[in-house]
A and B are shown apart, each in its own frame.
Chain A
């Protein structure tokens, strides 16, 4: 009798103490090496992504006298400077287009890319208080940093439309590809942002590198000059800089500049590679974020 009871208790205990893992919703274990991106989870946290973007946009121009006008002033001033020095003075060719619109159509996606990159690189460090106190998929942080620049992009784009009307430049049928070029700028910015933000957590050297990187990248991208200055096959190889593809794509779709050709495919491939490997690198480094940032 007693024996049977104790045996029963034993069975019960073992059931209670070792329920199968499937009974649990979540199992936390140390990760090793490369891990899954868990895209499903990012989707589940889409509202947080939305709120982070919304916060960045709301806060960006608070306490500035000119407010959202900055989104327009930045590319416009750069365009003016480029037009004066590169267009007028250096007489750089512009694929037969008026130089100001030639430069501006490139500066709009470029600014989206560059601001997104700067924002993404600093995003993890800037949101350290969140990362140390709450769980959410960390990939959301650089994604929100880049996406919050979309509003600035739209504002600057409206000015671009105005300029096209002014210069009587009309878009071509390739306009339908414009979202694809925007997407290309987005994944390039985010892809590089993944790398830099993850590295910035560990090595604050990144912070000092970013402004230099952007400056160098600006001149390596056909913004002040057309990529047609380069002969093939070098021109196609130029696409290894995905922003070359973006900029030429924008001019092609919007302004009817010559078709960029192979450069687009090279750019697309390069951007996707940087993006995908960057995302995995980011996930791999993720486990040190909260302890290090």
Chain B
């Protein structure tokens, strides 16, 4: 009989924005707030607001309830700020819920980050023990699995080198090797696979798959829809702190992606999800086909212009633009960067437009989104993770209009075949 491993009841978590956004408060701020808060509460009540919901509070989780059976592997998806990480943090007891409760059965291990507590001055060997202890392993347990971890990380030769001399790849390998050997009945995993090179990511996915097959209960947060679909039979969608849907991973990811398209308009002036110092702001991003018309349905193999409209607050020297195209499962297909040409732009104060020209769109049929970023030598100016969403409708990339199956291609590459030497029957 399946048992309940995790039961979440009406879980709510409220943050006061001031405490989360600012680095820290000073005593003076706090005293000021203590003096002014009662007045603001009265004013809020007077104006008909609920008196417990001050404007500077946000709800990271709002009345979330669900149950997970022992041995289930559940993906959690949602945009940044939807409450995914907060949910894991509450389950991992890192932060307390505001109301509601959670019941857990079994030892809980959390991997909210790989390499938590790694110290650069300590050697690989020492960090394995330290990190293991931090993740909640006993020393005997670490001793027992030490060789296995080292073999997984492929770092036998560098065990006694301080990790500050490691490359970032080696560092991640070591960190994941420790994390992957954590034995707990319930495992909470947050985005740890978003690191390292492709080969290592694959290895980590394989390891996660092993974990999932061992009958352990796993909650897995990721932006990588491919990983979610591969690892998790079911998934939960969070949006603005609410649980809006639960279903099979395929249903949930599709629903999630559809919801993104609905919510994001091409007018970026009011886009909520962005960061940057605001000296430059993107106001629109769209595609233009070879006839110069705006389109949301480009054709692969044809030239396409990605147009970014922006406004600047001042004159800017040395501005660099870049963009990344993601496919429907969240994989970055390609990245276009002015570094490729070694260019920088000088921008006058006011409105402007840059165009990224792609002579032959290498994308197969499917849904895509573009993330755009502008920065100068001082700072990040503006970053909009979902600036533009489009569908590649038909694929006539190759001369014969041959279309490779979507299962086997995330990008189209021009190629040709030659027979160099004819076989002879001797």
Task: Mark A residues whose CB is within 8 Å of B.
Answer: 16-17, 19, 21, 23-31, 47-48, 50-51, 54-55, 58-59, 62-63, 127, 129-136, 201-205, 287-288, 290-292
Contact = CB atoms under 8 A, between A and B. Distances in A.
A130 B30 CA distance: 26
Contacts of A202: 24-25, 30
Nearest to A132: B94
A133 B104 CA distance: 19
Contacts, number: 126
Contacts of A59: 119, 121-122
A30 B94 contact: no
A62 B121 contact: yes
A17 B26 contact: no
A130 to B, nearest CB: 5
Contact of A205 (B3, B26, B130): B26
Contacts of B93: 26, 28, 135
* Top 8 A-B residue pairs of the complex, sorted by shortest distance between their CB atoms: A24-B103, A51-B133, A135-B93, A28-B102, A290-B95, A287-B96, A29-B101, A26-B104
B388 interface: no
Contact of B15 (A30, A134, A291): A291
Contacts of A201: 24
7 contacts: A26-B104, A27-B102, A28-B91, A62-B121, A287-B95, A287-B96, A292-B19
A129 B30 contact: no
Given A30-B101, A54-B130, A135-B93, 17 more contacts: A23-B4, A27-B104, A28-B97, A28-B101, A29-B102, A30-B96, A30-B100, A48-B136, A51-B134, A55-B130, A131-B94, A132-B94, A132-B112, A135-B92, A136-B136, A203-B27, A290-B95
B159 to A, nearest CB: 16
B352 interface: no
A58 B133 contact: no
Given A26-B104, A30-B97, A58-B122, A134 B4 contact: no
Interface string B102-124: 11111110101100110101100
Contacts of B30: 202-203
B133 A47 contact: yes
B135 interface: yes
B133 A27 contact: no
Main secondary structure, interface of A, reads helix
A291 B95 contact: yes
A293 to B, nearest CB: 8
Contacts of A292: 19, 24
A129 B27 CA distance: 23
Interface of B: 2-4, 7, 15, 19-20, 24-27, 30, 67, 89-108, 110, 112-113, 116-117, 119, 121-122, 126, 129-130, 133-136, 138-139
A287 to B, nearest CB: 4
A58 B123 CA distance: 11
A288 B100 CA distance: 17
A51 B110 CA distance: 19
Contacts of A58: 121-122, 126
A17 B134 contact: no
Nearest to A29: B101
A30 B98 contact: yes
Given A31-B96, A288-B19, A24 B129 contact: no
Contact of B99 (A19, A30, A47, A288): A30
Contact of A28 (B20, B26, B104, B134): B104
Contacts of B117: 127, 129-130, 134
Between A50, A58, A134, the greatest number of chain B beta carbons within 10 A of the residue's beta carbon is seen for A134
Given A16-B4, A51-B129, A135-B94, A24 B104 contact: yes
Contact of B130 (A23, A29, A51, A136): A51
B130 A27 contact: no
B105 A25 contact: yes
B82 to A, nearest CB: 17
A146 B2 CA distance: 47
A196 to B, nearest CB: 13
Nearest to B2: A16
A16 B30 CA distance: 47
A255 to B, nearest CB: 39
B108 to A, nearest CB: 7
B210 to A, nearest CB: 23
Contact of A290 (B24, B94, B138): B94
B407 to A, nearest CB: 36
A51 B100 CA distance: 34
B119 to A, nearest CB: 6
Nearest to B116: A133
A24 B94 contact: no
A63 B96 contact: no
B39 to A, nearest CB: 22
A63 B121 CA distance: 9
B67 A17 contact: yes
Contacts of B126: 55, 58
Nearest to A18: B7
